Structure 1
Amino acid sequence: MGHSHSGHHHSHAHPDLKGRNLIISILLNIVITVAQVIGGVLSGSLSLLSDALHNFSDVLSLIISYVATVLSKKEASTNKTFGYKRAEIIAAFVNAASLIIVAVILIKEAVERFFNPQEIASGLVIWLSLIAIAGNGFSVLLLKKDANSNMNMKSAYLHLLTDMMASVAVFIGGLLMLYFKWYWVDPVLTLAIAIYLIYMGYDLLKDATRVLMLFTPNSIQVQHIVEAIKKIETVKNVHHVHIWQLNEDEVHLEAHIDFTEDIRLSQFDVILEEIEEELYHNHGINHVNIQPEFGKCDNKEVIVQD
């Protein structure tokens, strides 16, 4: 069986920097959460308490992201041959799911409060939301760069971004309550924050689920790959194809290739090299595992079945 790690690697953000940025964000969010819980209880503001709940979920999600970042760097071993490369995908899945759970809790609270509005100490709400905007804004800037290339960092970044927007909404609500006594604004804002959380969390949950379920990445067309390989001389058929994403950086392909003639092993190596180049440069697949066959009596029609 021919197997290859193509020596193509993507450039990463420095992992230690990623970890450091997460730790700073965790500490900032713990401070914000404590301040908002105290403020929410003192002022009677549900939107402030809902923001605190969201912030607390941020702290948990950032800790999960940090642990996953550390784990993903651990070496593989004989009983963990892939190491912990999936840790960050699991973290993204857990974080996305928690965003949606937090949102459902907020919707329930907001609906109850909407039919029973209460007077709120809006001055406190305004000051605490400003502190939260500053803290979360700083955290968002720290994680933004890594969020584009890493699902785990994106999940942490989304938690913080939605939290910053929630704090902006709470701030605006505080001003409206202070000057116009519109106390119904508080549950309406809570509801808006919750709906946005579901919207953001769902996409990420879907992406993480696809990777965990070993689905073929959206950008890859199996049929195109089969056709490209079949164009190579002496290749008769390509079947039993599996394509999956291990983590953010690795896409694996395994397949059986039926040859028209009984080629030598050295010829197979040349063909394997050609297949790897084609798959890496045109389809973004960087781990290739090919089983060569000649005159074997299995079903050559089945492209993607075991």
Structure 2
Amino acid sequence: MGSSHSHNHNHSHTPVNGKNLLFSIFLNIVITLAQVIGGLISGSLSLLSDALHNFSDVLSLIISFIANKMAGKDASVSKTFGYKRAEIIAAFVNAASLIVIAILLIKEAVERFLEPQAINSEMVIWLALLAIAGNGFSVLLMKKDSKTNMNMRSAYLHLLTDMLASVAVLIGGLLMKFYQIYWVDSLLTAGIAIYLIIVGFDLLKSSFRVLMLFTPNEITIQDIVEKVCKIEKVKNIHHIHIWQLNEDEVHLEAHMDFHENITLSEFDLILEKIEKVIQKEFGINHINIQPEFNKPDSKAIIVQD
């Protein structure tokens, strides 16, 4: 008997407002360029580190936009999964580069802290206000889509933290202007860089897990085995593989032994029950089961291929 492949089409691909997304991308590019130029002219590292934060979000928004457009493309004989993993690969590369740049910023901040330099605080203040206004507007634009789409929720949270980082830069600018505390620029730079490392490392770990086909953290294979084996006529489920294709799709493939030599039509009915249990309780929406009866193969839950 061959294998049976089931697709549960309950995916979370939700259409988002492309115009809002494009406008947020444009707005953040303007903010990033302004902060880079302003940071270089004023000598403020905190402005440059905030610009890096904004730039990482520009990349995140672009990836979300491209992924959303590509989601509508059909798979082909040469690309059976289409371009569904493009955003994961880009996220991994972005996270890795973000960590490297953040470490370089910390090194520069330490050197600047030991030898503080005068900074054009007025430019820092005005550009921080620009970033707060721009990111605040983007947050409002993205708020609606963030409630229904995981990609957009991630972008929304990034923009929100961008706005908070810009508030920190503004406070630093005010302290420099009125109290000439120039070392606060280095302190803020290090703080933003450390935050970037934390966010980047978290993204690096999660994208690495997806690329390596690891079982999602929230899924316990033993729980699936126990649930499925309670279904009538199922003897055991073994040789299990569970992986995440992207943030929307989780796949399961396994071999399944039955107590009886059932017909294909009986198997289809049992498969429907399995699908309901696995989808409802574990969020797995692509299931591929190979039915077996008295086959002399390994019955271990995990088998090294």
Kept in 2, the 8 Å contact 1:162–1:197? The answer is no
1:201 equivalent in structure 2 = 200
1:122-173 deviations in whole A, cap 9, x for unaligned? 1121111100111122223333455566564455445433432221111101
1:176-200 deviations in whole A, cap 9, x for unaligned? 0111110111101101111111122
**Distance (Å, rounded) in 2 between the aligned partners of 1:105 and 1:159:** 21
Kept in 2, the 8 Å contact 1:155–1:204? The answer is no
Q: After TM superposition, where is structure 1 displaced by more than 6 Å over at least 4 residues in a row?
A: none
Kept in 2, the 8 Å contact 1:89–1:208? The answer is yes
1:143 equivalent in structure 2 = 142
Describe how 1:40-59 pairs up with structure 2 within 5 A.
40-59=39-58
Query: Kindly, what percent of the aligned residue pairs are identical?
Result: 70
1:274 equivalent in structure 2 = 273
Kept in 1, the 8 Å contact 2:14–2:149? The answer is no
C-alpha displacement of 1:110: 0.6
1:46-66 deviations in whole A, cap 9, x for unaligned? 222332333334334433332
After superposition, the Cα gap between the structure-2 partners of 1:270 and 1:4, relative to the gap in structure 1 and judged at 3 Å, is same
Kept in 1, the 8 Å contact 2:257–2:294? The answer is yes
Unaligned stretches of 5+ in structure 2? Answer: none
TM-score (norm 2): 0.90
Kept in 2, the 8 Å contact 1:71–1:87? The answer is no
Q: Matched residue of 2:215: which SS?
A: coil
1:164 equivalent in structure 2 = 163
Question: Is the aligned partner of 1:39 residue 2:38?
Answer: yes
Mean Cα deviation higher: 76-85 or 52-61: 52-61
1:64 equivalent in structure 2 = 63
Kept in 2, the 8 Å contact 1:259–1:294? The answer is yes
C-alpha displacement of 1:302: 4.4
Mean Cα deviation higher: 182-191 or 72-81: 72-81
1:232 equivalent in structure 2 = 231
2:261 equivalent in structure 1 = 262
Describe how 1:206-221 pairs up with structure 2 within 5 A.
206-221=205-220
Kept in 1, the 8 Å contact 2:11–2:249? The answer is no
1:94 equivalent in structure 2 = 93
C-alpha displacement of 1:28: 0.8
C-alpha displacement of 1:218: 1.5
**Distance (Å, rounded) in 2 between the aligned partners of 1:150 and 1:210:** 21
After superposition, the Cα gap between the structure-2 partners of 1:8 and 1:45, relative to the gap in structure 1 and judged at 3 Å, is closer
**Distance (Å, rounded) in 1 between the aligned partners of 2:164 and 2:224:** 43
**Distance (Å, rounded) in 2 between the aligned partners of 1:74 and 1:265:** 33
Q: Matched residue of 1:296: which SS?
A: coil
Mean Cα deviation higher: 153-162 or 267-276: 153-162
User: Matched residue pairs, number?
Assistant: 303
1:110 equivalent in structure 2 = 109
Kept in 1, the 8 Å contact 2:239–2:300? The answer is no
1:237-259 deviations in whole A, cap 9, x for unaligned? 21101111112222111111111
**Distance (Å, rounded) in 1 between the aligned partners of 2:47 and 2:37:** 10
Kept in 1, the 8 Å contact 2:239–2:302? The answer is yes
C-alpha displacement of 1:68: 2.8
Kept in 2, the 8 Å contact 1:39–1:124? The answer is yes
Letter aligned with residue 170 of structure 1: V
Kept in 2, the 8 Å contact 1:54–1:102? The answer is no
After superposition, the Cα gap between the structure-2 partners of 1:187 and 1:36, relative to the gap in structure 1 and judged at 3 Å, is same
Letter aligned with residue 77 of structure 1: S
Letter aligned with residue 100 of structure 2: I
**Distance (Å, rounded) in 1 between the aligned partners of 2:216 and 2:136:** 32
Kept in 2, the 8 Å contact 1:211–1:245? The answer is yes
After superposition, the Cα gap between the structure-2 partners of 1:3 and 1:60, relative to the gap in structure 1 and judged at 3 Å, is closer
Kept in 1, the 8 Å contact 2:89–2:207? The answer is yes
1:14 equivalent in structure 2 = 15
TM-score (norm 1): 0.90
Pairwise CA RMSD: 2.2
Kept in 2, the 8 Å contact 1:122–1:177? The answer is yes
